[in-house]
Amino acid sequence: MMKNGSRCKLLVSLFVATAALALNPPNAAAQKQKKDQLTAPHSPPAMELIVLGSGGPRATGRGETSYIVLIAGVPRILVDAGSGAFVQIGKLNLDLDKMDVVLLTHLHIDHSADLPSVFNARSLSADDPITYHVFGPDGGGEFPSTTKVLHLIFDRGGIYQYQRGFGVDETIDGKDLATALNTPESEIFSEGDLHIREIASHHGDCPSVGYRVEFKGESITFSGDMDASALANLEQLAKDTDLLVLHAAILDPPDTPAILLTLHTPPKQLGEAAKAANARHVVLSHIPPVVEDHEADVLRSMRKSYSGPIEFAHDGQKIPVVKSVQ
């Protein structure tokens, strides 16, 4: 039988041990670290793509083509501005306070119609004067140059000349880019770790260019609308890119009218270009109903050449750029 003194000592020891466990449970440090990780603010990705519009010129419920690139979590670069961009910016509650670079792949309506609306929204929420850097193709045929379009819209005598001083004072620095396919690739914007390059593409009779945005070793490449005659240029621009945004507007022959092959590149050749460029990840956008209804066929065709990740864009989609090694 345990003596009273020994029993008291045992009870005291058990009490002390229980109290210690309550104050410092097993794996407390690990549990605290896990809790801190869950509650600590996450750093934004270096670059992130937001799809404002993933459709084309037909009224199908998708917004027309437009994207925003976030740099270190901040919306900075607008790529095309088709109708619906303005609405999607509001739906996503995007802060445009630092958006000052605009990249226009070409000047079809479904890639540029919302530019005045986006500029208007930006100016109405700004406190300081704005300087925009707007890049787009030079003129050709029925299409004016980018700088002429900006002049016709925003300059004195333009249809929206009031916009320049409606919110805050705006300066629009436009630059026309060469569109001959033999024009060398060039860097058009550089600021710290942010670099933007372009190269001529080809979209039937509409002058067009493609763009590559690089930040801290990561990259997004935008083909824009283009036919197969410009694939060599795209492959050069997109070499080893982390994210390649391709426009999948048609099916492979013979399921596409011949006239559309003079404007867009079919899936089989898109897959070949993605492979040749060694793109890490492909997003397909500018999607019409015929492609939406045959997504499996599009993927099957591209998979004959390209084995990396492929996804179809949708309005409001957010895609972080993830650096990977192949």
- Provide the CA 5 distance to its chain's centre, in angstroms: 76
In a domain, residue 23? The reply is: no
d(CA 226, CA 208): 8
Look up residue 325 and give its two tokens. Answer: 């090694």
pLDDT for 34 beyond 90: no
In a domain, residue 21? The reply is: no
- pLDDT tens digits for range 38-54: 444 578 899 999 999 99
Selection from 251, 256, 255 nearest residue 270 by Cα: 251
Selection from 92, 84, 86 nearest residue 56 by Cα: 84
Q: How confident is the model at residue 323 (pLDDT cuts 50, 70, 90)?
A: confident
In a domain, residue 15? The reply is: no
In a domain, residue 31? The reply is: no
- pLDDT tens digits for range 225-247: 999 999 999 999 999 999 999 99
- pLDDT tens digits for range 61-106: 999 999 999 999 999 999 999 999 999 999 999 999 999 999 999 9
In a domain, residue 19? The reply is: no
- Domain of 296? 44-317
What one-character DSSP code corresponds to residue 282?
A: E
Structurally, the chain folds into a number of domains equal to 1
pLDDT for 188 beyond 70: yes
In a domain, residue 17? The reply is: no
d(CA 122, CA 62): 23
CATH number at 287 reads 3.60.15.10
In a domain, residue 300? The reply is: yes
Selection from 250, 260, 262, 261 nearest residue 301 by Cα: 250
d(CA 106, CA 124): 27
Q: Is the dihedral of CA 228, 232, 147, 214 positive or negative?
A: positive
In a domain, residue 65? The reply is: yes
pLDDT of residue 325: 53
Write out the H or E segment, with its range, that includes residue 189.
strand 186-191
- Nearest-Å Rg of the Cα atoms of the chain is 27
* pTM value surpassing 0.75: yes
pLDDT for 17 beyond 90: no
More confident residue, 144 or 8: 144
% of the chain surpassing 90 pLDDT:
82
d(CA 167, CA 154): 13
For the chain, what is the mean pLDDT? 90
